[in-house]
Structure 1
Amino acid sequence: MAYVSGISTYVPPWGEVGRRVPGGDEDAVTMAVEAGRAALEAAGTGAVERVVLVSRDLPLLEGGNSAALLAGLGLPPDTDVVERLGGAPAALDAILTARPRTLVTAADLDPAGAGAVVVSSNGPVLRPVGRVTRSLPVQARSANGVVHRYDDPRLLRERGLLASLDRLREHDNGLEGRPTAIAGAPFAQVRALCDGEPPKLPVLGASATVFALAALAERKEPATLAAAEQASLTAAVLDTSAGEPAHIHRLEPAARAVPAAHTTPGLDMPVSLAAYDRAFESKVGWKAARCESCGTLALPRRYRCRGCGTEGEWSLVPLPRRAVVYTTTTVHVPVPSLTTPYSLAVVQLDGTDVRVLARTTAAEPGSVSIGDTGRMTLRRVAVRSGVPDYGYAFWPDDVPEGHEEEVR
């Protein structure tokens, strides 16, 4: 049983209604951070002492993604992190078994979306109903990344989803009647299997569980959620009458066509892990060096303070995430291994004299102007030698908001 105090959802602005695609600067970690930070806005970073990331699209299977995830979320590096490979049932299991002060995040790339849930000691109650774990590997991914599909949707429906629902109903104190919502299955199938009109979800993977919870929590009435992946299924009952209402935050901009772009062939820039390590805490954690003598901020850290000229001690402090565009330009010249055109902006961070050069994101190249306001958000700025290189990009405020329609 878990108490859900906060829920957030995120979809990229690119794609079409019903199927979003990640931007060229997004992956599972950046999307999990986008949803996770929104969930933490209400709960506060001090309300979390453990983070769970659920996805089938983890960028690093060796070396781990925990450091970038914690830095992007603004959490201490000693926070316990669990990276869990799985889909919708794995995400629901992670929420149900989480102890209070846990942030459960989930992210998917196809269709793209992410969600986060804060589990605390108060809020709507999520109670487990049952679990069925069966093997029906209609889609498999080998060690070299090749995906094999057993193309038989009828088999997946009959021997997968329907058979698992029947088995769950046969359990003692198991599922009774039809669920209110099913995460992880196509809407056309879900609609015929649910009690009433189920919510339309933009994703089919791990984050589908969070999108479904957000929709059910907004209805403010008891509901049963089933989370499915192939032949495995987990079910739970959400009781919104218990405790304080959950804080729900949706970052779901309206779908727009992916901007036309061209990638110029060329050699990739190799990674320097020494430089990567030196810059990581400031660049991914979004922290500036502060002179202990006069308080002047520098990003990146300087050898000599430009405020007082001393070469003394520095400390890292978090930077504001709100910014205004000081100047901007759009690059059209072909650059080997990069996608053009792209826009760069020098932005001034609110309440400081710090200016940062960053790429723009979630907006068409050339659409950002001087004076535009926005926020700094974690993005994958490059992949070098197979290593995701994370940094911050400027997301303008005028990105239109909207609501997702069904995934067919």
Structure 2
Amino acid sequence: MPHIASIGTYLPCWGTPRHRVAGDDEDAITMAVEAGRAALDAGGAVERVVLVSRDLPPVVSSNAAVLLAGLGLDPELEVDERLGGAPATLDAVSSARPRSLIIGVDLDPAGAAAILTADHGRKVRTAARVARSLPVRTRNAVGVVHDYGDPRLLHERGLLASLSAAWLDTPVAVAGVEYDKVTELCAGTPPHMPTYGASAGLFALASLTESDTIGPLVAVEQASLSGITVAGGEAQVNRREPAARPLPDGGVTPGADLPISLAAYERAFEAKVRWEAGRYAGSDQLDFPPRYRVGEDCSLSTDYELVPLPKTGTVYTEATVRIPVPGLRSPYSLVIVELDGVAVRALVKVTGAAPGSVDIGDRGRLALRRIAVRSGVPDYGYAFEPDAASSRESLCDRSAGAA
């Protein structure tokens, strides 16, 4: 019987309270990192990572390296990437062994949630599995989605028929289905879930934990169903769910993307995605980005070690770029951030705030984001996310409210 020690959730700041939208610099991997870090805030060891989504970046190799680096985990850990929706995530939960980090991610609506299992915590156990075929949504070889478009068929022959076949007690929550379709099927008032896909069941677990509710939790996708019984025990819930805001104005300028140098990408990957500086033996100086040095004897020194950098800091200076750049949304803001506790300043883009809304002296954190897509390769790095209370945008909102 798995035990859940902690649950982390993440919602992008853009969109509406009921439908979040991923920013231009967010994808399934960056949101998985946000949710995973929220779950890991409570502490605990990780021996295995399971990532479930239908929206993983289409790279031929694995996304594991970026995911582990963003989470700050050992690159030797096992990562299991699964293509699936809400039932696939609950299947992963019900069969998880201790010290497993399970993450579900969705892009429409956007959100991610994660759980960390342990030897003690909130108990769950398998309640039902039903595999039926009702392919109302399909995707062809080039990614075009076809929707059969019969919500009545999906409700009656999908949701209701699968629930009947499962022989479950009345569930306390149903994930993967819009709220208005499940209220009459649940005991009491089921929680609202911000997503309908792979992360929905984990969002439901977070709500059930916070309300100390026990009973069957069911996840449905088309006609497949997975159910777990949520029992007693305690788990810590950490939510990263900022208030929803409309996407800022701007547009993407058409044109050829900047090409990528895979040699440079590979050389900078660990330092950039793990947010680390280089330090040479016998020196207190940190180089960011890490670089080779030429000694007094003209010999090239390459044997620096990587040192983790703080992920909080203060804006030293800022600029907003309004000149269109092919392949990027304009305008956008850049800041030089003075990192806490070290003599390092970093030039990064601003995320989670409207262009021009961040000022000198604002506090914030560094968050993993997709900086660009070059030659079809997602290029990840860190961006500055201002604290909610420090940006000019938030100050203006408060002033308007007071008026």
- For Structure 1 versus Structure 2, the TM-score category normalised by the shorter chain is over 0.9
Q: Is the 8 A contact 2:59 2:377 kept in 1?
A: no
SS at match of 2:42: helix
Normalised to the residue count of structure 2, the TM-score between the two structures is 0.94
Deviations, residues 268-314 of structure 1 (Å, cap 9, x unaligned): 111111111011001111111112111211111122389xx994731
SS at match of 1:160: helix
| Aligned-partner Cα distance in 1 for 2:340–2:215 | 43
1:227 partner amino acid: A
| Aligned-partner Cα distance in 2 for 1:116–1:259 | 28
Residue 14 of structure 1: aligned partner: 14
Residue 217 of structure 1: aligned partner: 209
SS at match of 1:137: coil
Residue 369 of structure 2: aligned partner: 379
| Aligned-partner Cα distance in 2 for 1:35–1:279 | 25
Residue 400 of structure 2: aligned partner: none
Q: CA RMSD in A?
A: 1.5
- Does residue 161 of structure 2 align to residue 163 of structure 1? yes
Residue 148 of structure 1: aligned partner: 146
Q: 1:228 aligns with which of 217, 220, 223?
A: 220
1:180 partner amino acid: V
- Does residue 350 of structure 2 align to residue 360 of structure 1? yes
What does 1:58-73 align with in structure 2 at a 5 Å threshold? 58-73=56-71
Deviation, structure 1 residue 385: 1.1
SS at match of 2:3: strand
Deviation, structure 1 residue 17: 2.3
**Consecutive unaligned residues in structure 2, runs of 5 or more:** 395-403
Deviations, residues 171-209 of structure 1 (Å, cap 9, x unaligned): xxxx12x10000100001011211110000110000001
What does 1:328-339 align with in structure 2 at a 5 Å threshold? 328-339=318-329
Q: 2:317 aligns with which of 318, 327, 336?
A: 327
Decide whether aligned partners of structure 1 residues 194 and 372 sit closer, same or farther in structure 2, where only a CA change above 3 A counts. same
Q: 1:195 aligns with which of 179, 187, 192?
A: 187
More displaced 10-residue stretch of structure 1: 312-321 or 147-156: 312-321
- Does residue 259 of structure 2 align to residue 270 of structure 1? yes
Between the aligned residues of both structures, percent identity stands at 57
**Consecutive unaligned residues in structure 1, runs of 5 or more:** 170-174, 401-408
Decide whether aligned partners of structure 1 residues 130 and 305 sit closer, same or farther in structure 2, where only a CA change above 3 A counts. farther
What does 1:23-102 align with in structure 2 at a 5 Å threshold? 23-44=23-44, 47-102=45-100
1:212 partner amino acid: A
| Aligned-partner Cα distance in 2 for 1:305–1:366 | 40
Normalised to the residue count of structure 1, the TM-score between the two structures is 0.92
Q: Is the 8 A contact 1:291 1:305 kept in 2?
A: no
Q: Is the 8 A contact 2:253 2:325 kept in 1?
A: yes
Matched pairs, number = 387
Q: Is the 8 A contact 2:8 2:38 kept in 1?
A: yes
Residue 397 of structure 1: aligned partner: 387
Deviation, structure 1 residue 227: 0.7
